[in-house]
Chain A
């Protein structure tokens, strides 16, 4: 059998690892990438209690929410509202095949559908004391802490690119943290936009972290 084809990240060509620091210091905007997070699209009828129950059970008790533009965040899974009958499951890199199979088996009898969309997007993290200022240069969403709270998510445009935006901090730390799920083909452009937007505040590249390892910043 041939060796496995090496998996390339959407931003690997930028050599971010070589620039990455654990100490962003005085930089106002901290950028990072979380490569290969499992992403699974879930659709089904929220009025169907059996579907909702089956989905929640297959997702370790993480229940799909019907509250628009919010996410349910658990230790191993983020479940983002995308529409009245649509959610995005985000989980640890490498877990997509097993998780999608488990979820599909659970919801299919109740009219639910599951699509593994892991490869469609990568995840850029934007953190630091000036993260909001950098994002505000290209995003129509009001990111004020009172309006866009921990666990809130939104689909919108950032610098004319469609993004799924999540407030990923819990407001206990000193700085906000956002995760942007962006189509791979737009990731290079969006990264460069963010570096440019953050330039006046100082940009630090922070080490890419895997969800399973956790992080001090998170």
Chain B
């Protein structure tokens, strides 16, 4: 069982959280002008790295807020959690 640090509630047990997939996906500013293929790329296509991954999480059984996390998809280490709008932390040294 992981302890996940909600940016508001502090450390809470993993069962209170849900992962919401890849984070920091920006909606195209010119959404009305781009092609269907480009829009589909924004809407559906996600990275699936083996390693560090910026993700969105929701404290669904707690304060119900969304936040961002930097998680390793192999070790499940969560290096950082931070509020929406906060700058994303750099990837740990030696990784890209």
Contact B61 A162 (CB under 8 A): yes
In the complex, how many residues of chain A place their beta carbon closer than 8 angstroms to a beta carbon of chain B?
13
Contact B8 A68 (CB under 8 A): yes
With A156-B61, A162-B61 already in contact, the answer to whether A83 and B12 are too (CB < 8 A) is no
Contact B8 A83 (CB under 8 A): yes
Q: How many Å lie between the Cα of A154 and that of B61 in the bound state?
A: 10
Extra 5 A-B pairs, beta carbons < 8 Å, given A83-B8, A140-B16, A157-B16: A84-B65, A140-B12, A141-B12, A156-B12, A156-B16
B13 close to chain A: CB less than 8 A: yes
Contact B15 A140 (CB under 8 A): yes
- Which chain B residues in 31-89 approach chain A with CB under 8 Å? 61-65
Contact B16 A83 (CB under 8 A): no
Q: How many Å lie between the Cα of A86 and that of B10 in the bound state?
A: 17
How many pairs, one residue from A and one from B, have CB atoms within 8 Å of each other in the complex?
35
Complex contacts, A154 vs chain B, CB 8 Å: 9, 62
Q: How many Å lie between the Cα of A175 and that of B64 in the bound state?
A: 31
| 10 A-B pairs with the lowest CB-CB distances in the bound complex, closest first | A140-B13, A83-B63, A68-B8, A155-B62, A157-B61, A162-B61, A68-B9, A83-B65, A69-B9, A84-B8
Contact B15 A155 (CB under 8 A): no
A182 close to chain B: CB less than 8 A: no
Binding site for A on B (CB under 8 A): 8-10, 12-13, 15-16, 61-65
Binary flags per residue of A155-184, CB closer than 8 Å to B gives 1, else 0: 111000010000000000000000000000
Q: How many Å lie between the Cα of A162 and that of B61 in the bound state?
A: 6
Complex contacts, A157 vs chain B, CB 8 Å: 15-16, 61
A194 close to chain B: CB less than 8 A: no
| Chain B residue with the shortest CB-CB distance to A81 | B63
Complex contacts, A126 vs chain B, CB 8 Å: none
